[in-house]
């Protein structure tokens, strides 16, 4: 039996391993951390569970090809229970709130009530969110293996998506906000994601949740990763945790194995790295193999933004006055080199996992980018510790100021920064998704192979913007299909 070695045990690595076993290969996963999951993670502090991934899992709607992938890898099935979440997010300004509800009619009514003068633009927005519900991630096979019939079927399934791209594919979120007159609606349109994001990605994200194709499985993100690990092991796969790959061995232009940091060497017929490309092309293989499109993206940080976060988890006694994910005004504060007057929090009250002794976990969040990463990176170890604590305290004060009833009821559990993602997953500038697509730029995408290295196939969220769990999972399946194709075998594996 031919053998596949997978470097990295995140969602992409686990999916790769499972499809490798289903396709009849011996499969081993090497993960540097003590537990699999990578960015799809959760951890405990003071007896509370902090979840740090799934806000929505695209592909929870049965009868879609992505659902079949999630089912095949043991992430979800027909018995999976989901959080009872009714809104995408809520924006607050001058004491008034606007919410993007999963129920689009409810949203339409609420927004028109807030701003009758924006009725036309609101109707257009809702109409296009409805169209965007058709946006599905092709998960049957890699694009290069698709035939005319596949494209025709895809075109039929997503017949209205071109309308979304035409209307919202060439503007960013700031420009989307400019189309509205009311300040609260402007903010609602441009605040959930960084303003330079192309507008259609916001509509697609909202539509995914609104259509029921982006539910949140109960039990948390880590539990989902562990279900996938168990599936892999049950199929006869081997997982090695606490085993960092130091090098992918290339002999005469062919990947033949890996060398671990402990010095041991492991041989295989195929290597599938699923690690962050920053780790892959700056550490595991020589830099000369870095694809040109990746080099270009690393060189132009303005054109290729990334998203990370400064986050703090708290427990709150009782319940939060506004549920869900909320962005609210706060006193102006400086963090790093930027000034902020808004803060966001998310209440984790949709799952008993995050509740104990009358308290519920909440998280406060500030989006971070390249510039913020450099700020954190420039601090000494002592300064880093101090700043983290200082900003977490500031978040607590701002929450208490906005909601005085929280005074004395908030307790800090943990704080983390872009450097945490870098340390834990090797994440490029702390990014937990791939490159952000900005208007006028082609969405970032790599081929599944690397010029000059035979028998190495790429997987992981960095293979395609915007990354995320679906890209991670599907890329693992595709990598195995590319191997099957190279051996002239049937690529159908389920």
Cβ proximity to ligand FAD: between 66 and 93 the closer is 66
Q: How far is the CB of 430 from ligand FAD (least distance, A)?
A: 9
Cβ proximity to ligand FAD: between 184 and 226 the closer is 226
432 binds ligand FAD (CB under 6 A): yes
From candidates 20, 21, 23, 30, binder to ligand FAD by CB under 6 A: 30
Residue with tokens 């951890």: 43
Would you state the structure tokens that stand for residue 419, as one six-digit string? 């450097």
426 binds ligand FAD (CB under 6 A): yes
Terminal-residue alpha carbon distance, the chain = 19
245 binds ligand FAD (CB under 6 A): yes
Contact 394, 334 (CB under 8 A): no
From candidates 18, 98, 135, 275, binder to ligand FAD by CB under 6 A: 275
Cβ proximity to ligand FAD: between 360 and 461 the closer is 461
DSSP string, 331-400: EEEEETTEEEEEEEEEE--SSGGGEETTEEEEEEEEEE-HHHHHHHHTS-HHHHHHHHHHHHHHHHHHHH
Q: How far is the CB of 466 from ligand FAD (least distance, A)?
A: 9
433 binds ligand FAD (CB under 6 A): yes
Cβ proximity to ligand FAD: between 122 and 433 the closer is 433
**Cα–Cα distance for residue pair 261/282, rounded to 1 Å:** 15
Q: How far is the CB of 462 from ligand FAD (least distance, A)?
A: 7
Q: Which of residues 293-332 bind ligand FAD (CB under 6 A)?
A: 309
Q: How far is the CB of 348 from ligand FAD (least distance, A)?
A: 12
Radius of gyration of the chain (CA): 22
274 binds ligand FAD (CB under 6 A): yes
| 114 contact partners, CB below 8 Å, separation of at least 6 | 96, 98, 182, 184, 185
Find the Cα–Cα–Cα–Cα dihedral 395, 401, 405, 408, rounded to 10°: 50
55 binds ligand FAD (CB under 6 A): yes
472 binds ligand FAD (CB under 6 A): yes
17 binds ligand FAD (CB under 6 A): no
209 binds ligand FAD (CB under 6 A): no
From candidates 19, 23, 38, 395, binder to ligand FAD by CB under 6 A: 38
Q: Is 49 left (phi over 0), alpha (psi -120 to 50) or beta?
A: beta
Cβ proximity to ligand FAD: between 217 and 336 the closer is 217
Q: How far is the CB of 367 from ligand FAD (least distance, A)?
A: 10
| 414 contact partners, CB below 8 Å, separation of at least 6 | 43, 45, 50, 312, 313
Of 349, 342, 384, 377, which is closest to residue 363 (Cα–Cα)? 349
* Burial bucket for residue 152 (CB in 10 Å: 0-12, 13-18, 19+): exposed
Provide the binding-site residues for ligand FAD, judged by CB under 6 A: 7-13, 30-33, 38-40, 52-56, 58, 244-245, 274-276, 279, 309, 425-426, 432-433, 460-461, 467-470, 472
């Amino acid at each position: 039996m031919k053998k596949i070695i997978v470097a990295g045990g995140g969602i992409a690595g686990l999916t790769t391993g499972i499809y490798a076993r289903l396709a009849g290969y011996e499969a081993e996963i090497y993960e540097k951390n003590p537990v699999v999951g990578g960015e799809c993670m959760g951890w405990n502090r003071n007896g509370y569970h902090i979840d740090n991934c799934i806000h929505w899992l695209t592909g929870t709607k049965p009868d879609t090809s992505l659902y079949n992938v999630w089912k095949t890898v043991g992430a979800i099935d027909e018995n999976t229970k989901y959080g009872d979440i009714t809104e995408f997010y809520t924006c607050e300004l001058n004491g008034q709130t606007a919410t993007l509800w999963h129920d689009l009619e409810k949203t339409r009514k609420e927004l028109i009530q807030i701003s009758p003068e924006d009725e036309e633009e609101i109707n257009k927005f809702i109409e296009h969110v409805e169209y965007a519900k058709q946006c599905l991630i092709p998960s049957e096979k890699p694009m290069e293996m698709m035939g005319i019939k596949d494209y025709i079927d895809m075109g039929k399934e997503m017949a209205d998506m071109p309308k979304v791209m035409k209307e919202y594919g060439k503007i960013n979120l700031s420009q989307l906000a400019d189309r509205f007159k009311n300040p609260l609606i402007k903010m609602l349109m441009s605040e959930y994601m960084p303003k330079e994001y192309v507008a259609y990605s916001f509509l697609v994200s909202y539509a995914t949740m609104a259509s029921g194709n982006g539910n949140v499985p109960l039990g948390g993100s880590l539990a989902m990763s562990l279900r996938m690990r168990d599936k892999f092991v049950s199929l006869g796969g081997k997982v090695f945790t606490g085993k960092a790959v130091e090098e992918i061995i290339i002999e005469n232009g062919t990947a033949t194995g890996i060398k671990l940091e402990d010095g041991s060497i492991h041989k295989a017929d195929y290597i599938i790295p699923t690690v962050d490309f920053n780790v892959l092309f700056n550490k595991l293989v020589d830099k000369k193999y870095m694809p040109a499109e990746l080099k270009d993206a690393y060189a132009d940080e303005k054109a290729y933004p990334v998203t990370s976060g400064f986050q703090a988890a708290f427990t709150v006694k009782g319940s939060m006055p506004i549920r869900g994910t909320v962005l609210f005004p706060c006193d102006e504060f400086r963090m790093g080199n930027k000034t902020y007057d808004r803060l966001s929090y998310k209440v984790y009250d949709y799952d008993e996992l995050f509740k104990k002794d009358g308290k519920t976990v909440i998280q406060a969040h500030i989006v971070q980018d390249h510039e913020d990463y450099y700020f954190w990176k420039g601090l000494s170890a002592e300064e880093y510790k101090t700043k983290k604590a200082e900003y977490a305290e500031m978040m607590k004060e701002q929450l208490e100021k906005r909601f005085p009833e929280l005074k004395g009821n908030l307790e800090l559990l943990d704080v983390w920064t872009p450097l945490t993602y870098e340390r834990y997953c090797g994440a490029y500038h702390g990014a937990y998704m791939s490159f952000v697509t900005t208007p006028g730029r082609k969405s970032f995408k790599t081929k599944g192979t690397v010029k000059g290295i035979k028998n190495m196939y790429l997987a992981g969220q960095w293979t395609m913007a915007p990354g995320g769990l679906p890209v991670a999972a599907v890329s693992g399946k595709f990598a195995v299909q590319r191997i099957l194709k190279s051996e002239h075998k049937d690529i159908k594996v389920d």
